[in-house]
């Protein structure tokens, strides 16, 4: 099967390599010619230098995967494809688009008879080897047309033991991809996936931080607080120096919190027990925000997911004015001066 | 009436002045002789240089107010008073003691026939003029003995309009003091008061921070995110430069959030619209922690109060290792580097 | 001065009465003729039965206050006014509109030369007597035209003691109204006000709930947990039966959390110490949601305000499926059955 | 090797079976004779009817595993063992004891020369087959004595692929057990493990709830709110009916949130897509509370872990008085009546 790929960043290039390894052919384009060159030499990969050339090299009905950063760039590419491709073609947006943009983008393409599949793609830098978990929205026929590619990109059924209770024919979901519903449904499910990811990451991170400070009783004198600071009432209970990399490792076997994120955390802690390569300014890339907004719109509580999001904001000191306001109030009512840095 | 005062810091000294202004006599002691000197010259105030001298100068049954920083120092003073005072005397602990300590302290004194009243004291540096809100626990007879002093220290009924629906005789609570129950009940109620205070302060602070960033659409380019950062989808909705001191002022009249904390915030913002005297390292002094622990012990949710507490911890960067762990995970699964400071 | 009022619900009618008491004249309209009749008999109030008649009875440049429920109804009225009023007229939207709608509405009117002022109005059912706190956005000239009405509707400078440090001429904000910026700025500030309100309300509510359960040690046996339930480790610390109405009352005088919301809570608790008229299904009316969305869009943490919002959702059992999922997981990994209702 | 086991509930019995399968011999006791009978017939398992008999049947230095519900029962058993066992013996507390109790229990036993190992045991009902993740605190020599049993009970190195970067000899942690530090360290680490578990569970649960309500736009009319309720501004974005069991399944392969908890969730959802066996009253069993208290004592933020805990409390309606207070305040300031059940 032929696949056009637009966008040859880390994710796009890895998907191409996974696709051709399975016997498919790829025509690849990136606005950066060097990215095209880097891939074009490989088996079954043809590089092109424009969208027009990409369209030309693919036999209709064409299948084109767009893997560019979300936001205005995606809109730009979609708009160009609306004039470059032809009725009957299928476009996959595999990036991190907001599902609301999918609905708009699908309409732009639908006006030309082109169908858009929105495809949430999880797996990160490990996906080339492990396969990517794919959550897909859009027209069912378009999905059926593209399914062989999804089956190739996904991890496949062997990636996990079968869920007890499942019998007979292997379902789509068990192969690692799922048609979730109409336009936007794929990115909606992926958005919530990332929201959960934020929550799980924060769960681990907060827990590790509690372990790390289990020695605080050795660092703070008992009863040594003042009117400004809470004394540690019971230093005798915080005398532990925990070997955190080993704890992460032991949890990997048999514990309830076993997870891929824990596996990755164990790698990172083994490399650097102090995580000294990091300053602790945690980025967020959209889906966590959108998940919280969805919860609010729906009127359902998501305190854990939103707390995880806000912690990232706080890690970047975006709460500074709020904190100053708190200190200012304390000064006003209690005459409390701020204490110097701890 | 005679009152002994131990501890002549900001709060202790102001209470003494409020008490003598009402015609009572005070015998005052502080471990720092200068603090004693500073007060001792004034009308109806006698300075002493030891607890023994304090006991001697007071006619039994003595009434002694202890106003020292909470924690081990309070325990020390209580323990000394157990041997210095006599059966029938009454001790008031007006500091920020943990109510659980009160129960222990009360027992130490009870063994000598001395009764302890725990007295949560709210009002800050304004209390000398406004009066202090007093929440008292302990023996009812001891409370009755000390009540004239509480009535003097409290703001009195005129400090607020009568609650609609209340008629007839003015209740204790309407005078600004309340016997809340047995030992510890006073500081328990004060603890919860401070927990609420944390939540209200954070409510104001977070809201002001949202107002302050209402101009973010003028600072960030539309759609200019990347795989690491969420772009601002709708900068057109964040184009406001809000005059925050004026907003705080307008809210003081007729709004639902009118409050003393808002009044203080308005003062602080009028003094410095940027709150530039503060770095935003917010202290916490015990009660906020204890309130959350009480909620957890009781099994009742207190997400707002605890969030307010955790924000203070975060303002002091005590989440650093957690944040590093998040960045480390992102690096592991997505190859994401941390972005430099914003 | 003449004012047209559209919408004679609780708020609209009270504002009209406040305006005429100050010597202005009102022409009033409601889609419900009975509401018009109820007011039309009073001094300086003229009832009309259509928007056209309203326009006719007002001398240009007209000033029309719209006080209808937010959402589609506001859009409908604004759209009608665009054809009923004339260039130079000024419309005030005093309802709870989303500030983003203001921007759209202002454009609809601006196309006809009519100017829209968005006016956040706080004060509830007490506003008629206390005056309303007004936060206004839109064109500065339009604001100047309407200012006498705002001055009348607002509480006025005497509603609160002057902020220490403020001298000389009384500022707009000190009279209880404020021109906050261009279109939408008024409702943006009001939105954040309500966000803060949610946080403050939740702070009080959580604190009262902790007080109420301070007797849990008398209700639960020590150490009587099982593998499914945490036992109460220290029942001796939860033996207090707190008189909650009296606590709310005592906090009204001299405490740090003194506030109008506390005053109202004291009234409610005095009426019914058990609050037995309420089931605890707490509504939310938009601004709390929008405030959290603004925080997320701006990238600033608002854990307290959002927690307060989510608690309201949870009070309406909108977390049911999430809770079932938790019990289902516990059953899967630990064989734990749900415990029957407590 | 010989092991005494006290407590033959689900966990105790499964550990015994796992231990004897590996060639060790067990002497087993439970206060319920039927539980003893159920096991006593099996190979290498000897049943006894008293602690004295248990001690008698084991050769010194004895190794005795206590697997009883935490709290007072553990203290009782430990106290009995202090008189039944002899100097040099080793006791393992494998239950969910609070680490602070371990310190006390260790002292009770140390007074008789007996050593206590506290052993956090994770794995639930699956542990018999998968092995249990073991986190151990206490004396290093005692740990060395018991290590063969821990190695048998733990999952072993093959339970997970080796962490990239680890080379050479297999570490303790890689076999699934870890000596974490002195008395209490094992249960401290287990406590934090469970805290993380709460956070991860809530992350999944909240996410699933957001998916489930992705169809809310089909259930609520646009703009149909009133002064009491927020209307759904954009129903067109909430038109998805998500097949939640299939989503849980697809996430199991290749996604970032792959985890054992997700595997279990997939099982539960496959069994009952509506999770109709559950009412959503979620228990909590101590460690989640203790983790939050540890965070508070240490002064580190744990908003995600504590939010997860509070959600469980709320699922059991323990916030009822708080919710009533909110409705009461809304009634007071806005005249809002509660809306009937949704």
- Per the structure block, which two tokens stand in for A155? 């991890």
CA of A129, closest CA in chain B: separation in Å? 13
- Per the structure block, which two tokens stand in for A303? 């305190």
Look at residue D95 and tell me whether its pLDDT is greater than 80: yes
The H-or-E segment that residue C16 falls in is: helix C10-21
Look at residue B228 and tell me whether its pLDDT is greater than 60: no
- From chain B, the residues in CB contact with D311 under 8 A are 301
Q: Report CB contact under 8 Å: B292, D297.
A: no
Q: Report CB contact under 8 Å: C225, D70.
A: yes
Same domain, D201 and D176: no
Same domain, B47 and B94: yes
Same domain, B138 and B228: no
Cα A198 to Cα A307: distance, rounded to the nearest angstrom: 9
- Tell me the residues of chain B between 282 and 321 that have a Cβ less than 8 Å away from chain A: 282-286, 288-289, 303, 307, 311-312, 314-316, 318-321
Q: Is residue C261 part of a domain?
A: no
CA of B141, closest CA in chain A: separation in Å? 30
Mean pLDDT over each residue of chain D, to the nearest integer: 94
Average pLDDT over residues D238-245: 98
Q: Is residue C135 part of a domain?
A: yes
Same domain, C177 and C200: no
Same domain, D71 and D95: yes
Please check whether residue C236 touches D, CB under 8 A.
no
Q: Is residue C250 part of a domain?
A: no
The length of chain A, given as a count of residues: 342
Same domain, A114 and A199: no
Tell me, rounded to whole angstroms, the distance of Cα C224 from its chain centroid: 44
Average pLDDT over residues A214-234: 73
Q: Is D312 left (phi over 0), alpha (psi -120 to 50) or beta?
A: alpha
Residue with the larger pLDDT of the pair D220 and A84: A84
Catalytic residue among D42, D197, D274, D298: D197
Catalytic residue among D112, D190, D249, D342: D190
**How many Cα atoms occupy the beta-carbon half-sphere of A181 within 13 Å?**
23
DSSP 8-state symbol, B59: P
Q: Give the number of beta-carbon pairs within 8 Å between A and D.
A: 364
- From chain D, the residues in CB contact with A259 under 8 A are 200, 257-262
Query: Looking at the 3D structure of chain C, how many domains does it have?
Result: 2
Please check whether residue A142 touches D, CB under 8 A.
no
Confidence of residue D70 (pLDDT cuts 50, 70, 90): confident
Cα B271 to Cα B267: distance, rounded to the nearest angstrom: 6
Chains interfacing with A (3 or more CB pairs < 8 Å): B, C, D
Look at residue A66 and tell me whether its pLDDT is greater than 70: yes
- Per the structure block, which two tokens stand in for B187? 């500081």
β-pairing, C133-137 with C115-122? antiparallel
Look at residue A95 and tell me whether its pLDDT is greater than 90: yes
pLDDT in tens, D105-143: 999 999 999 999 999 999 988 999 999 999 999 999 999
CA distances from B307 to A242, A311, C321, D102, D107 (A): 27, 11, 24, 30, 37
Is D57 considered catalytic here? no
Domain range for residue B324? Answer: 191-242+279-334
pLDDT in tens, B82-123: 999 999 999 999 999 999 999 999 999 999 999 999 999 999
Confidence of residue B222 (pLDDT cuts 50, 70, 90): low
Residue among B189, B299, B311 whose CB faces C211 most closely:
B189
Query: Measuring CA to CA, which residue among A204, A323, A219 is closest to residue A266?
Result: A204
Look at residue D231 and tell me whether its pLDDT is greater than 90: no
Give the per-residue pLDDT at A342. Answer: 45
Q: Is residue C269 part of a domain?
A: no
Contacts of B145 (CB under 8 A, 6+ apart): B61, B63, B90
Cα C313 to Cα B65: distance, rounded to the nearest angstrom: 46
- Tell me the residues of chain B between 168 and 207 that have a Cβ less than 8 Å away from chain D: none
Give the per-residue pLDDT at B44. Answer: 96
pLDDT in tens, B243-267: 999 999 999 999 999 999 999 999 9
- From chain A, the residues in CB contact with D304 under 8 A are 199, 202-203, 206, 304, 307-308, 311
Angle at B199 between CA B198 and CA B202, to 5 degrees: 85
Count of H helices and E strands in chain B? 15, 8
Question: Can you give the CATH number for the domain in which B144 is found?
Answer: 3.40.50.720
Mean pLDDT over each residue of chain C, to the nearest integer: 94
Cα C75 to Cα C81: distance, rounded to the nearest angstrom: 10
Tell me, rounded to whole angstroms, the distance of Cα A172 from its chain centroid: 21
SS3 call for B66: strand
SS3 call for B177: strand
ipTM of the complex: 0.96
pLDDT under 50: residue ranges of chain C:
342
Give the per-residue pLDDT at D342. Answer: 44
Same domain, A31 and A89: yes
Q: Report CB contact under 8 Å: B208, A277.
A: no
Residue among D96, D282, D333 whose CB faces C327 most closely:
D282
- Per the structure block, which two tokens stand in for A337? 């001066």
Residue among A163, A233, A302 whose CB faces D210 most closely:
A302
Angle at C205 between CA C199 and CA C208, to 5 degrees: 140
Q: Is residue A261 part of a domain?
A: no
Cα C21 to Cα C43: distance, rounded to the nearest angstrom: 9
Buried-exposed string B284-308: b where 16+ CB fall within 10 A, e elsewhere? bbbbbbbbbbbbbbbbbbbbbbbbb
Same domain, B219 and B84: no
Give the per-residue pLDDT at B124. Answer: 86
Cα B306 to Cα B319: distance, rounded to the nearest angstrom: 15
* CA closest to C101 among chain B residues: B237
Same domain, B229 and B119: no
Give the per-residue pLDDT at B285. Answer: 85
Same domain, B81 and B202: no
Q: Is residue D256 part of a domain?
A: no
Question: Can you give the CATH number for the domain in which D227 is found?
Answer: 1.10.1040.10
Q: Is residue A214 part of a domain?
A: yes
Q: Report CB contact under 8 Å: C301, A322.
A: yes
Q: Report CB contact under 8 Å: C307, B310.
A: no
Cα B268 to Cα C124: distance, rounded to the nearest angstrom: 28
Please check whether residue A256 touches C, CB under 8 A.
yes
Q: Is residue D67 part of a domain?
A: yes
Look at residue D223 and tell me whether its pLDDT is greater than 60: no
- Per the structure block, which two tokens stand in for C43? 């001094």
Same domain, D126 and D19: yes
Query: Measuring CA to CA, which residue among C333, B249, A217 is closest to residue D285?
Result: C333
β-pairing, B115-122 with B133-137? antiparallel
Residue with tokens 């001065």: C1
Q: Report CB contact under 8 Å: C230, B299.
A: yes
- Per the structure block, which two tokens stand in for A270? 């083994």
Q: Report CB contact under 8 Å: D256, B289.
A: no
- Per the structure block, which two tokens stand in for C285? 């009316």
Same domain, C52 and C200: no
């Amino acid at each position: 099967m032929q696949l056009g790929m637009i966008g040859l960043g880390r994710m796009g290039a890895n998907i191409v390599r996974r696709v051709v390894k399975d016997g498919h052919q790829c025509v690849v384009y990136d606005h950066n010619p060097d990215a095209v060159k880097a891939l074009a030499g490989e088996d079954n990969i043809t590089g092109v230098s424009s969208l027009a050339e990409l369209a030309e090299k693919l036999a209709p009905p064409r299948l084109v995967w767009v893997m560019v950063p979300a936001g205005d760039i995606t809109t730009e590419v979609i708009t160009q494809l609306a004039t470059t491709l032809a009725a009957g073609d299928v476009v996959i947006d595999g990036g991190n688009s907001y599902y609301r943009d999918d609905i708009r983008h699908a309409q732009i393409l639908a006006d030309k008879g082109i169908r858009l599949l929105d495809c949430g793609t999880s797996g990160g830098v490990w996906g080339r080897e492990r396969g990517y978990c794919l959550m897909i929205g859009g027209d069912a026929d378009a999905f059926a047309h593209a399914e062989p590619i999804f089956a190739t990109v996904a991890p496949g059924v062997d990636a996990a033991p079968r869920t007890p209770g499942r019998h007979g024919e292997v379902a789509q979901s068990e192969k690692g991809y799922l048609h979730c519903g109409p336009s936007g449904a794929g990115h909606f499910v992926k958005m919530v996936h990332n929201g959960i990811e934020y929550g799980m990451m924060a769960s681990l991170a907060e827990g590790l931080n509690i372990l790390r400070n289990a020695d605080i009783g050795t660092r703070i004198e008992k009863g040594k607080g003042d009117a400004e600071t809470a004394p540690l009432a019971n230093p005798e209970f915080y005398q532990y120096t925990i070997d955190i990399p080993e704890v992460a490792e032991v949890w990997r076997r048999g514990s309830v919190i076993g997870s891929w994120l824990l596996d990755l955390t164990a790698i990172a802690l083994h490399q650097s027990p102090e995580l000294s390569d990091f300053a602790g300014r945690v980025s967020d890339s959209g889906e966590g925000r959108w998940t919280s907004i969805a919860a609010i719109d729906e009127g359902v509580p998501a305190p854990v997911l939103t707390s995880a999001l806000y912690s990232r904001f706080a890690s970047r000191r975006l709460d500074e004015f709020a904190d100053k306001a708190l200190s200012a109030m304390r000064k006003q009512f209690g005459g409390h001066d701020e204490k110097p840095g701890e």
